[in-house]
Amino acid sequence: MGISEILHIAVDSFRASKVRFALTALGMVIGSMSLILVVTIALTGKQYILREIESIGTNWIDLEYAGGGGGSVSNYHTDYLRYDDMLAVDEDVPEIAASSPILQMHDRINVGSGIQQDVLVLGVMPPYRQIRNLKVTTGRFFDDEDENTHEKVADITIPLAKQMYGSAGAAINQTFQISGIPFTIVGTFKESVNTFGQSEIRDKTILIPYSVARYFTGSDYVQDIFFSTRDRADVEATAKQIVKIVQSRHQPNSVYTASTLTQLITVAGVIANALTIILFLISAITLAVGGVGIMNIMLATVRARIREIGIRKALGATAHEIRLQFLLEAIMISVAGGAVGSAIGIAMPLSVRFFTAFDIPISGWSVIIAMSTSTLVGIIFGTLPANRAAQLDPVESLKYE
């Protein structure tokens, strides 16, 4: 018997028992569908996590002083970063797109009803908004003209604006004092993603021009210098170059570090991939359960068709042909269920992409894996029934009632 004839017999068997065929394949439909959906959900979660991290600023480099200095034991001095270090890096590193010093201060300001609270004041330059990807919700961010003319203007966080004036909109053009000097609020802002206080920005933060902030300290020392590269691929190499340039301008034993988000993004990607694999393996169990169902139904089918097997063997069918027939039937059930499940699994995220604005990632590999797994399940769980059918004695089979 040829393969085509064996397939024809299998199809006739399915036509005679459509309900049995459909119910047997149902487990594979659910398994394949769940496998694809699980992979889709995992990829969506990975995409969301990476986008949240990237919202902080993928091209961002934070240079800070880590320790060391110069002088004698009795006259030791720390070797902080200076504004001139930023200018030197900007001049020598063409990959730098924007830069800003960070001058950090603390002050107590009046937040209303005679109450004073501690706030964080950061002296920054206008490119700081671009580097940190800040969102200005009302008003504007101070610009180069404000920086060059030393205007006493400020941008404040939304929580601070609400506490001081009731709303972000009401804070615009209001005046408050920092160390007795009046500042005018020109805008309110927030981070693109909530960093839960793990960045340099707190809930109660005020941003003022660096040219104004330096007058409060009376020096060119700064706590950090933020840089942004033109290309994300240049971040790590540029960070090393920045440290090298700054190190050459300070004491040999002074230590400076450049932090980036590249490592965090890499770690997040690895964790997301690991979770995807775990969820994939869990969903594969569903396919195994479907395979057990196929095996049980095929064993029942062999029992119900013992006389048919006996007749075919009496007419010359070999054990190999009988084994191949029942194995192909199991594989056809498994593959048909996998195909339907894969179609449903792909159709659901596609419909979400079609009817909504969500760009849900769809993995073609998940379909290939689902179909391959379905075929493998059919082979594994169809082997036992096929072997049992092939081993039946033709004489005993013909006597079977």
Please write down the HEC assignment for all residues of 20-70.
HHHHHHHHHHHHHHHHHHHHHHHHHHHHHHHHHHHHHHCCEEEEEEEECEE
Q: In this model, does residue 301 exceed pLDDT 90?
A: no
What is d(CA 141, CA 208) in angstroms, rounded to the nearest whole number?
10
Q: Which of the residue ranges 53-57, 271-275, 335-339, 356-360 would you say has the lowest mean pLDDT?
A: 53-57
Indicate if the pLDDT at residue 222 is higher than 50. Answer: yes
- pLDDT value of position 71: 52
Highest mean pLDDT among 27-36, 49-58, 206-215, 267-276: 206-215
Number of neighbouring beta carbons within 10 Å of residue 254:
19
Name the residue with higher pLDDT: 316 or 347. Answer: 347
47 vs 54 pLDDT, higher one: 47
What are the φ/ψ torsions at residue 369 (nearest 5 degrees)?
A: -65, -40
Give me the pLDDT at residue 18, please.
Answer: 74
The pLDDT of residue 201: 84
Please state, in angstroms and rounded to a whole number, the distance separating the CA atoms of residues 78 and 69: 5
Query: Is 341 or 356 the better-scoring residue by pLDDT?
Result: 341
C-alpha 61 chain-centroid distance: 21
- Rounded average pLDDT over 300-313: 79
Question: What is the DSSP pairing of strand 175-178 with strand 181-190?
Answer: antiparallel
**Confidence check: pLDDT of 64 > 70:** yes
Comparison of pLDDT for 121 and 321, the residue scoring more: 121
Measured CA angle at 28 (ends 26, 31), to 5 deg: 110
pTM: predicted TM-score of the whole model, two decimal places: 0.65
How far apart, in whole angstroms, are the C-alpha atoms of residue 122 and residue 102? 6
Q: What is the pLDDT of residue 172?
A: 94
Cα 4 → chain centroid:
48
Average pLDDT score over residue span 153-164? 92
pLDDT at 385: 84
Q: Which of 18-27, 238-247, 361-370 has the highest mean pLDDT?
A: 238-247
DSSP secondary structure code for residue 339 in this structure: H
CA separation for the pair 340, 336 (Å, rounded) = 6
Report DSSP state, residue 123: E
72 pLDDT higher than 50: no
* Alpha carbon distance 149, 152 (integer Å): 9
Q: What is the mean pLDDT of the chain?
A: 83
